[in-house]
Amino acid sequence: MVIHYPRGLIVVAVFLSGMAGFVDAMGFITLGGFFVSFMSGNSTKLAVSAADGLVHTALTGAGVVGLFIVGVMIGSVTGRRAGARHRPAVLSLVTVLLLAAATAHLVGSTPLAISFMVAAMGAENTTFEREGEVSISLTYMTGTLVKMGQRLVTALSGGERWGWLRYFMLWVAMVAGAFLGATAHRFIGLGALWIAVLWGAVLTVAIARMPPGMPAVSRRWG
């Protein structure tokens, strides 16, 4: 299925991918090798840890995956109840969860901060949900790179010339966000979550200002 999204929403998606990279890098450093948005890597590490008899590490991985699923569920329910305004509703939820994470860190509860970070990343993935399915993945870069490769073949075969570019932009945004997150963590630790809160708030306002029924002139995504 080909879904049409206007340029404004594509720009928001790119910045959301960057925010995911920013938060994921901080979570990865804090958890010592577990991600807060990349569940494929966590699942592999969970299985390897279990095979090596590292029960505590395996349970940590299982907990992170479980919290991510809970975040997806909360985001999906929030979006569906909001109807036509589901995108700003979901991003408001993500921002609130990041605010809760920053506050938890402020009062000295790192495990609670990580829990809210994971839930926020799960919820973020439901921002572009349509008919119960995610139409733009904001943290799953393997699928994004696969689609980019497929669109490159299409371009080289005489088809749409720049169809691959939007997927490349998502990947670059996540890498850049992760770089910024790791750098910020080096200087202020999880205190950098306040940057993510501001990031989420700005994107929430931006997407809320877009009309629910976006114009017909748009770019394809799918």
Give the residue extent of every domain in the chain: 3-210
Residue 99 has pLDDT above 80, yes or no: yes
- In this predicted structure, what is the pLDDT of residue 211? 78
Residue 2 has pLDDT above 70, yes or no: no
Average pLDDT, the chain: 90
Instruction: Tally Cβ neighbours within 10 Å of residue 59.
Output: 13
Instruction: Tally Cβ neighbours within 10 Å of residue 166.
Output: 20
Instruction: Tally Cβ neighbours within 10 Å of residue 35.
Output: 22
Q: Which residues contact 171 (CB under 8 A, 6 or more apart)?
A: 17, 141, 144, 145, 148
Instruction: Tally Cβ neighbours within 10 Å of residue 194.
Output: 18
Convert the pLDDT of each residue in 81-90 to its tens digit.
998 899 999 9
Instruction: Determine the Cα–Cα distance for residues 11 and 165; give it in Å rounded to an integer.
Output: 12
- In this predicted structure, what is the pLDDT of residue 132? 57
- In this predicted structure, what is the pLDDT of residue 120? 98
Residue 8 has pLDDT above 90, yes or no: no
Convert the pLDDT of each residue in 62-71 to its tens digit.
999 999 999 9
Q: Quote the tokens at residue 124.
A: 């973020």
**Span 3-210 CATH architecture:** Up-down Bundle (1.20)
For the segment 112-118, the average pLDDT, to the nearest whole number, is: 98
- In this predicted structure, what is the pLDDT of residue 1? 42
- In this predicted structure, what is the pLDDT of residue 133? 59
For the segment 21-25, the average pLDDT, to the nearest whole number, is: 97
Q: What is the pTM of this model?
A: 0.90
Q: Which of 160, 136, 140 is nearest to 150 (CA)?
A: 160
Window from 19-28, 69-78, 159-168 with minimum mean pLDDT: 159-168
39 close to 65: Cβ distance less than 8 angstroms: yes
How many angstroms separate the Cα of 70 from the Cα of each of 3, 94, 115, 184, 216?
27, 13, 10, 27, 34
Residue 136 has pLDDT above 90, yes or no: no
- In this predicted structure, what is the pLDDT of residue 218? 40
Question: Which is it for strands 133-134 and 129-130: parallel, antiparallel or unpaired?
Answer: antiparallel
Q: Cα(first)–Cα(last) distance of the chain, in Å? A: 6
Of all residues in the chain, the percent with pLDDT exceeding 70 is 90
Convert the pLDDT of each residue in 160-188 to its tens digit.
998 899 899 999 999 999 999 999 999 99
Q: Using only C-alpha atoms, what is the Rg of the chain?
A: 18
The 8-class DSSP code of residue 19 comes to H
Instruction: Determine the Cα–Cα distance for residues 198 and 141; give it in Å rounded to an integer.
Output: 24
Would you place residue 20 in the very low, low, confident or very high pLDDT band (cuts 50, 70, 90)?
A: very high
